Structure 1
Amino acid sequence: MFTKEDISNQTLLHRNRLKPRTHFISYKREEEALCWNREAAPTFQLLNGNWKFFHAEHSILVPMNFYEENYDSSEWKTIQVPGVWQLQGYGKPHYTDLYYPIPINPPHVPEKNSTGCYLREIYLPSDWDGQNIHVCFEGVDSAFYVWMNGHEVGFSKGSRLTAEFDVTPYVKKGKNVIAVKVHQWSDGSYLEDQDMWWLSGIFRDVYLLSLPTIHVYDFQIKTDLDEQYEDAKMSIKAKVRNTSTSQKSFTLEYKLMDNYESINEGIISTGEQVEAKDELSVTLDVNVVAPRKWSAEEPNLYSLLLLLKDEQGQLIEVIPYRIGFRKIEIKNGNLKVNGKNIMFKGVNRHDHDPDTGRTVSLEKMRQDIVMMKQYNINAVRTAHYPNDPRFYDLCDEYGLYVIDETDLETHGFEFIGDANRLSDNPEWEAAYVERLERMVERDKNHPSIIMWSLGNESGFGCNFEAMYKRCKEIDDTRIVHYEGDRETKATDIFSTMYSSVDRIIEFANEQNWQKPHILCEYAHAMGNGPGGLKEYWDAFYQYKRLQGGFVWEWIDHGLRQFTENGEEYFAYGGNFGDVPNNSNFCIDGLIRPDRTPSPGLVQYKKVIEPIIVTSTNIENGDLVIENRYDFLSLDHIDLSWNITENGKIIESGNIELPKVPAGEKIGISIPFKNHLLLSNRDQYLNISFTLKQNTLWANQGHEIAWAQFKLTVENRSLKQKSNYNNNWPLTIEENDTNLIIKGSEFDINFSKVHGTITKWIFKGQTVMLEGPRMNFWRAMTDNEMYIVKEWKESYLHQLEHDTKLIECEQIDEFTVKVHIGTNIAPLVVDWGIDGKYEYTIFGNGQIKLSVNGLPYGKFPSTWPKVGLEMKIPVNLSHASWHGRGQWESYPDSKLACKMGIYKMTVDEMFFPYVFPQENGNRTDVKWASFHNGVNFGLYTKGNTSMNMSAHYFTKEDIEEAQHHYQLKKRDFITLNLDHQVNGLGSNSCGPGPFPEYQLKPKAFGYEVTFIPYIGATELANDL
């Protein structure tokens, strides 16, 4: 009889659960098997859907004998399976990164243990009579019991692993009732402290299998390549189980197929006898001549059919499986696939859906993989647990290298200063080893899995050494990974997290290294960022030992919620009253919860693109193309080019790429005409590499990589639009509080109190409402969560502007200069900036503003920005600019943004990070124009390239908001024209900006020109 002690006993791992085995579905006929559709298999019955459900906040409140066959559940509600009960109205989600949300007293868990009771009626097909019936649960958090028709079936722990039970003795014809009781907490919870939401229930598929009395219970396929990596050997090992007393003989055959055509077939075992209630292992080695190899770039798959026949030669069952021929090894200190060093361009991926939490549909899995491929990602680490078994099928098919990670993390023990507490305790060895064993046995035949990971952030100790040993016993064809093993006793690869570029270069330069180095986590993609990716990849390609890394992480774990007014937002830690929590630390992905790509993902795609172009003589169009694929030549790529001037294509063409093998370079010339003598405007040569043909993950024309080169122009002169050569006389009016400069078509009001423009009218329309004012602060990004302490302790966020001087000087009839001196300093502390503004106002309405500043005192080591902030009318919401776009960019995150002329609205320039923060900056801006979309606007230009951003909110609004629904549009636009901005880095977990991207306080000076205009909104095209 099941007792509550079951869930606080780490030595009790299960009761009556079947041995772990490869995930597969058997069929009755070959034609059915080759359709690869489990729902159509006559041996498969999916139990997903509505189940009767009762939730008890305390396990003692569970209804007595609810699992009995005739229990009356008519008063119970229903719940969707698969699904987590916290997102279906029972309890609340709880997010922690590090903390255990229960008292730490292993193996004991609280008596107050949220419990879910499930009931479902099942009707078995008539042709299942006399068969073995199994029930499979692909994921249940965290411990659960199963009954069938009132009979005890079994018990299991290990939330993200398959649990399979034999229910043959308990099922009957007609109606059957399955009952499940799930406990939120168990001793297994101590091993499942991953950085994610604590969510409970049957969250993955549940189904029934019908197996013949003699059947293939498990099989293992190993492929090996010869020394030339040409021919292969396929090893087949199968376990045939007999549950019958009337039938003993069988024949097991195989058929290897390529595109549904058999290329190799034979008999694994013929005339073998397996005793009743016993299991027999049979093996066969098969030589395969020159198969097409599997890699992430060329995911060539073959279909293997295992055909089990009875003593009369009648087919009992057929099992289809897709296999790939590839070899994984550590050789000469590098990890190799099929004899070649590979580079991991990876991401860490959690299971997440904004509406269903840890329950992720097959469609969402496919969407994730397609997006990864489209963004040049070639590897995924299943952080930090095995995924749904169908995910690996997709990785096999689409082509991704996988680190399959054990469902193991004890991070909370690090918080109490005892990281090795369970990992070095032999009493927990069986629990550790079993989790690894179940994962490896389930997933062992997937070609995409090239590494097993023993877990994550669990200290180290004897239990990891036991896991490593057991892993090698089951599968000696793959590499074993565990980042927490710093001495690599139980790992084949040296792995670290968030090491700086300098540190990984130190690793690379170590003498006599035998194991390659990867970063299993780096570049923390929390909020706006990560910055500094390029420097990592420069190092990866420079040093042989370094073989890439995995960005943390793929997706923001926000949960979709709605306010009382129906406004959508994505919730994070603490939003459900969950204490303790790690706030928005789960919002750290390259895509939003709704799978919208972030600017960070666009940057990552660019940095890891597999084709690199450099120039040897750009004015002659001479380029060098480097193929950074590990296996593919460039035969599958089209090259197109164009030359743009002021955003318009003036010439274009295509070039047939010569064959460029993987890892090699070739020189080409772009045959463009020399336009440079005919123009005084910037011109850019743009190169684009696109797919020649449709693939499984992208259509023909999908851009893989691109390059851009500026074509230099010397001795250019600025040609002004003619109506701006006209000047009119200026007059000056002054009183105690205001200084007013008037022309025939405009007037500008300066406040003597604030030292800024308070009104600027041009031809009857408002140009500016307030400003410009020197600004050194921005809403913080998540990646500034540590430096912000220094900034705020220096009161950088609370600078006071004290106007010391405002003077007006009439230069001539058509020109006035306004000099403003100001002291910009915080309260409390003893530093500041001696600032000066010099406005030169021309009779045509144009203003040239010269800004200078000199820091003094003990100022902070870096600043967020140096620039100008102003308020412009809300109707000037259409932006055009010449600079980088279309995405936002920052000094250390701009490679993916081409130079060009872009047009967007202020709304479109805003990127809605789940946690509101600094966003929308555009770098290397030569000019920007804000207009009303019809005939009125304001044009700006710096004497050097500047940064530009515009929002309907103030920086204070953005910084104070916790969610987007809290941001309310102002009746003005905040426009920032910044001289310099600080880099992003990824210091929410990784390193901060590299020194070259840090904004160090020093004396500064720059100019900005403002031109209001009526008429064509594209004034800049005439300049």
Structure 2
Amino acid sequence: MTNNRNNDWENHKLLHRNRMEARSCFIPYADADSALTHERGGSDRFMLLNGHWDFHYAPSPAAAPERFYAEENVTEAEGWSRIPVPGHWQLCGYGRPHYTDLYYPFPVQPPYVPAENPTGSYRRRFYVPADWIGDRITLNFQGVDSAFHVWVNGSPVGYSQGSRMTSEFDITPYVKEGYNLLAVRVYQWSDGSYLEDQDMWWLSGIFRDVYLLRQPQLHIADFFCTTEFDADYRDARLHIAIAVKSGEAPSRQAAVRVQLLDASGREAAAGSFSVPTLAPGETYTVRETLAVESPKRWSAETPNLYDLLLTLADSEGSPLEVVPWRVGFRQVEIKEGRLLVNGAPVTLRGVNRHDHHPDTGRAVTLDTMREDVVMMKRFNINAVRTAHYPNDPRFYELCDKYGLYVMEEADLETHGFELIGDANRLSDDPAWQEAYVDRIERMVMRDKNHPSVIMWSLGNESGFGCNHEAMAAWCRGYDKTRPVHYEGDKEAKACDVYSTMYSSHEKCIAFGETESGKPHIVCEYAHAMGNGPGGLKEYWDIFNKYERMPGGFVWEWIDHGLRQFTPDGREYYAYGGDFGDEPNNGNFVIDGLVFPDRTPSPGLYELKKIMEPVEAEALDPSAGKVRIRNRYDVLTLDHLRLVWNVTVAGEVAQSGQLELPPVAPGETADVQIPVRPVRNAGEAWCNLSFVTKSDTLWAGHGHEVAWAQFALPQAAVAPRTARVCSPVRHWTEGARLYVESLDSLAVFDKRRGMLLEWHYAGMQLVRSGPEMTVWRAPIDNDMYAVQDMRKNYLDRMTHDVQQCSWSLSDEGKLVISSRFRFAPPVYDWGFDCEYRYTIDGSGKLSLELCGGPQGSVPKALPRLGLQMEIASSFDRVKWSGRGPGETYPDSKESGRFGVYQATVDALYTPYVYPQENGNRSDCRWVSFTDLMGAGFVVAGQPQLHFSAHRYSAQDLERAKHATDLRKRDAITVHLDYMQNGLGSASCGPAQLPQYELRPHDFRFRVDLLPFNDNARSPVFL
């Protein structure tokens, strides 16, 4: 085979050869009973061809084996192996994965691609039973990247391209009874690759299901069902168009029976419609409407489904085939700038989702898809944007069943043309119109019958032009029941909604206040890359306030890490550049709310809390008076139960349960919780948990969907007895100052006034520090700000001690004062600061750090606080504050106040790309003890943030993967006065001003006290 530039895969006018017209993705059955199982394996007319196929990899089409598809050449020749289908050849050792966000990884010369175009040749045999012969047999590929030719028994069947879309071929003329040979040649690059420049790995091969369908010669070729409610959204009509097609011979008269069954199997509507005699290859479309009284409505909150059975019967009434479908009665409308489903405004609590698995790439199993859907439901997510291509067809079945709104997006992105300064190059070129329209047409035709799909999207980041207008016109002309979306249509010229990406909070407020008949959707916001995103609460304050802002979709659901192992067997996740793939966009592909293994990140817990469907406001906490608000779109609150308790110093003192009234969506109700006065010492909280009363498809009864907390006032308590004390002794030896009280010995550098060591009862508690720091290991959302931070040498700040003194106070406490300048090299700005230690007879060390900026200081600091090293044995951590997970100033709503405990290792958040992590916010105290309970406690005045790691900030900063980290023999503890917010500036907006840590005058105090958990409570102040 030679590359003479007349190749099928380099002709944007040739989209296929002999591919069947796009149609709904359905499975035919022999009878109604088997059809009602909705299981592919329950149909004798379905044959799955997945498995291990013969495979040959070549660097180009010219180097691929010739006539490999011929029967006489089917031998185990040199260079052939076995490869899983579905799968990607790069993940099986052929070629290498390549990640780019927007770069085309080949020279841009559309429609041409490199002659060195990696090519995979596939072969497998399949068996056709005798009773299949004479029927119509089709071959279905659900996904092949990026273009391919097909042969059966040595005969050319056809060609197709469009990686994430179905390609179906009629192979009836080519098959025979018994064993048949299927051969497929796949090309890594094609002219279609210019339309598939999505932010993800470039991976090739047959990566979705391949199967055969058997249908009678007279068969149901396609159908389209839509639902329409009356003006009161009470009764409905089911509109259905059924295309019946004849085979090679004229057909006899037949009929189509339509049955609609409810969840109990009761017939809700039915009809029988005749089909006339058809000429060979002729199609007849039955168009009918069935009236349905008071159907249960489908929504993401109430995913009620009906079984639709389409039975094609011959003139004697015997069934030729039965096609089942699950119908949901729902109506999507846009009125007065609002997005409505069944007449009710809906809010899209959405995420962008790619198909991804860390071991198999975009080859994703049904179990993995179900895991995604179930997790989304459990985390209060109700919508998915299929970024940026149609997902596996079975994903939509899950969304129908479990209840998720879907914005389905066409397999279209030409992002790389932005780099050459011509974003509209293909989108506004009429020569590419057919290729564009093909992508929306095949998507709509495949998935048109899914109730979960409430909106069509024309693609992503492809500029805008006449081809998008043609796509929208085709879409709207075929399906008038759903709105059309495309973010690149800035003026909503062709689309029914406005859409933007990563709009700031200020811009979202402006959008909300703009009068328009079209809603505004933020199709990507809150970039969930690494530690973050921050600012979610403020986004949802806006979405909840403005009717024209019906929510949006967080970018994105999952980190696209690929599982790899070091030579010594340690696991890590690879990203761009790890395979020698150049050019690449590094770890920008690691930007999800769940880690590659689908472990939820702290960001997902924060999102769940922010988007929870029940809000509670304390009217009178001490009297238990609470106002609850229903944030559901459809459900009333009586499907939930309120479980409450009162905790004092972390211990449950009171508890109970309440039934909730049927509060309507958007409405409020006041609830009385029977709390009693709290008279114990310690912080008291009233904790409310709203849980499911019964089992659901996605969670068992008792699953928490929302929660709230209120501080309770307490009655006065008697003062604690005084602690045991001893006189404070101090002396100097050389450059050291020793201070002893009770069983505590503190060693200071007498020139600098800084703590060098701290011992208690013969144990060394502190190895070094506390010492002022403003640096943290950069997070992904510092991507651009970190350049300024390094330019200002915030990672190289030094202490210049100007004065140190100590003296005994009148109360017998030793006070050590050290004045110093904290400043970077190169520049003339800095902080004038003071450490002030006070040591009393109980062994308590109180450290006050105060200071203020001088000169032209930088705009923001990563953190402001203290860093110290403690012995590695003190790895049992207990704290009073927000928890149990990590929290930061603009991402802490998910942190409940309480008393928590964990090991140092458990405090660590394993981001794929190591960075600052594990902070706990708003803490009153934290203790560090060994296995026997001995250690020390730190109290903040009034509070503190803390983190503890077996790595230093510098270790985290230098590491590129988790396997680069080596645990130290000491624990690095940060006791922070303030942390900078997170924001989402890796792609979205930076921290909001109120979360920015700007240099300012500060005063911060921590009290450290030796402590044994077996002897007394750490609440010592």
* Residue-by-residue CA offset, 1:550-579 (whole Å, 9 max, x unaligned): 000000000000000100000000000000
Note the alpha carbon deviations across 1:253-282, whole angstroms, 9 max, x for none. Answer: 111111252424544421522111211111
Deviations 1:337-393 (A, max 9, x none): 000110000000000000000111000000000000000000000000000000000
Contact 1:891 1:981 (C-alpha < 8 Å) held by counterparts: yes
Letter in 2 for 1:681: G
Residue aligning to 1:730: 729
Distance 1:271 1:116 in 2: 45
Matching residue's letter, 2:510: E
Shift of 1:715: 6.8
State the distance in 2 between where 1:781 and 1:426 align: 44
**1:508 CA displacement:** 1.6
Residue identity in the other structure for 1:501:
H
1:346 to 344, 350, 355: 350
Aligned to 1:808: 806
2:637 to 631, 634, 657: 634
Q: C-alpha distance in 2, partners of 1:975/1:529?
A: 21
Out of 607, 611, 615, which is 2:614 matched to? Answer: 611
Report the residue type matching 2:130 in the other structure.
S
CA–CA separation in structure 2 for the residues paired with 1:410 and 1:403: 20
Q: Give the structure-2-normalised TM-score.
A: 0.98
Q: Residues 730 and 843 of structure 1 are in contact (CA less than 8 Å); yes or no, is this contact kept in structure 2?
A: no
Query: Which one of the candidate residues 525, 550, 555 is aligned to 1:552?
Result: 555
Alignment of 1:483-502 (within 5 A): 483-502=487-506
Task: Note if contact 2:1011-2:1018 (Cα within 8 Å) is conserved in structure 1.
Answer: no
- Tell me how far 1:729 sits from its aligned partner: 3.8
AA of the residue aligned to 2:730? T
Query: Displacement, 1:645?
Result: 0.3
Q: Which residue of 2 aligns with 1:524?
A: 527
Shift of 1:951: 0.4
Q: Structure 1 residues 407, 754: closer, same or farther in 2, change over 3 A? A: farther
In structure 2, distance between residues paired with 1:671 and 1:181: 71
Report the Cα distance in structure 2 between the residues aligned to 1:324 and 1:267, rounded to whole angstroms.
18
Cα deviation, residue 249, structure 1: 1.7
AA aligned opposite 1:30: A
TM-aligned CA deviation for residue 734 of structure 1: 3.6
SS at match of 2:955: helix
Counterparts of residues 585-984 of structure 1 (less than 5 Å): 585-675=588-678, 678-713=679-714, 719=720, 722=722, 724-735=723-734, 737-743=735-741, 745-752=743-750, 755-811=753-809, 814-984=812-982
- Indicate conservation of the 8 Å contact 2:725/2:742, yes or no: no
1:169-207 deviation digits (Å, cap 9, x = unpaired): 111111111000000000000000000000000000000
1:731-774 Cα offsets, whole Å, 9 max, x none, are 32242x22222345232211246642222111100110000000
Report the CA distance shift for 1:813/1:232 in structure 2 as closer, same or farther (over 3 A). Answer: closer
For residue 252 of structure 1, the aligned residue among 241, 249, 256 is 256
Q: Are the aligned partners of 1:730 and 1:744 in contact in 2 as well (CA < 8 Å)?
A: no
Contact 1:953 1:969 in 2 (8 A): yes
Name the counterpart of 1:414.
418
State the distance in 2 between where 1:315 and 1:463 align. Answer: 44
Structure-2 separation of matches of 1:644 and 1:266: 58
Q: Aligned match of 1:327 in 328, 331, 337?
A: 331
Partner amino acid, structure 2, of 1:638: R
- Residue identity in the other structure for 1:529: G
In structure 1, the partner of 2:211 is 207
Take 1:273 and 1:855, find their aligned partners in 2: how far apart are those partners?
90
User: Residues 522 and 551 of structure 2 are in contact (CA less than 8 Å); yes or no, is this contact kept in structure 1?
Assistant: yes
- Kept after mapping to 1: 8 A contact 2:726/2:741: no
How far, CA to CA, are the matches of 2:422 and 2:873 in structure 1? Answer: 59
* Deviation, structure 1 residue 864: 0.9
AA paired with 2:35?
A
AA partner of residue 28 (structure 1): A
1:276 counterpart = 2:280: yes
Mean CA deviation greater in 11-20 or 932-941: 932-941
Q: 1:289 aligns with which of 287, 293, 306?
A: 293
Instruction: Report which stretch shifted further, 558-567 or 802-811.
Output: 802-811
2:375 matched residue in structure 1: 371
The residue aligned with 2:180 is: 176
Q: Does 1:313 align with 2:354?
A: no
Higher mean displacement: 855-864 or 394-403: 855-864
Measure the CA separation in 1 of the matches of 2:798 and 2:477.
69
Shift of residue 1022, structure 1, vs aligned partner: 6.1
Paired residue secondary structure (1:546)? coil
User: Is 1:514 matched with 2:496?
Assistant: no
Unaligned stretches of 5+ residues in structure 2: none
Aligned CA distance change for structure 1 residues 804 and 744 (closer, same or farther; 3 Å): same
Deviation at 1:543, TM superposition (A): 1.4
Residue 138 (structure 2) pairs with residue 134 (structure 1): yes
Mapped partners of 1:731, 1:801: distance in 2 = 25
What secondary structure, in the 3-state scheme, does the structure 2 residue paired with 1:70 have?
A: helix
Q: CA separation in 2, counterparts of 1:617 and 1:962? A: 50
Question: How large is the RMSD of aligned CA atoms in angstroms?
Answer: 1.5
- Equivalent position of 1:437 in the other structure: 441
Structure 2 distance, partners of 1:336, 1:345, is 14
CA distance in 1, matches of 2:604, 2:229: 36
Question: Which amino acid in the other structure matches residue 77 of structure 1?
Answer: S
Shift of 1:474: 1.4
Q: Secondary structure of 1:639's match?
A: strand
Q: Distance in 1 between matches of 2:528 and 2:328?
A: 33
Change (3 A) 1:253 1:166: same
* 1:59 aligned onto 2:57: no
- Residues 248 and 275 in structure 1, CA contact (< 8 A), matched pair in contact too: no
Q: 1:923/1:266 Cα in 2 relative to 1: closer, same or farther (>3 Å)?
A: closer
For residue 7 of structure 2, give the secondary structure of its aligned residue in structure 1. Answer: helix
CA 1:714–1:532 in structure 2 vs 1: closer, same or farther (change >3 Å)?
farther
SS of the equivalent of 2:369 reads helix
Shift of 1:725: 3.2
CA contact (8 A) 2:535 2:891 kept: yes
Aligned 8 A contact 1:52 1:73 in 2: no
Mapped to 1, the partners of 2:540 and 2:35 lie a distance apart of 44
Deviation at 1:719, TM superposition (A): 3.2
Report the Cα distance in structure 1 between the residues aligned to 2:269 and 2:468, rounded to whole angstroms. 41
Instruction: Write the letter of the residue equivalent to 2:984.
Output: S
Which of 580, 583, 587 is 2:586 aligned to?
583
| DSSP 3-state at the match of 1:407 | coil
Q: Is the 8 A contact 2:802 2:818 kept in 1?
A: yes
SS at match of 1:706: strand
CA distance change for structure 1 residues 673 and 168 in 2, over 3 Å: closer, same or farther? Answer: same
SS of corresponding position for 1:261: coil
Separation in 1, partners of 2:121, 2:699: 44
C-alpha distance after superposition, 1:502-539 (max 9, x if no partner):
1011112223x110111000000000001110111111
User: What's the offset of the Cα at 1:713?
Assistant: 4.0
Aligned partner letter, 1:899? F
Shift of the 517–895 alpha-carbon distance from structure 1 to 2, 3 Å rule, reads: same
Q: What's the CA shift for 1:620?
A: 1.2
* Structure-2 separation of matches of 1:1017 and 1:930: 14
Under a length normalisation based on structure 1, what TM-score does the superposition of the two structures give?
Answer: 0.98
Deviation readout 1:604-624 (Å, 9 max, x if unpaired): 000000000011112211111
1:66 aligned partner, one-letter code: F
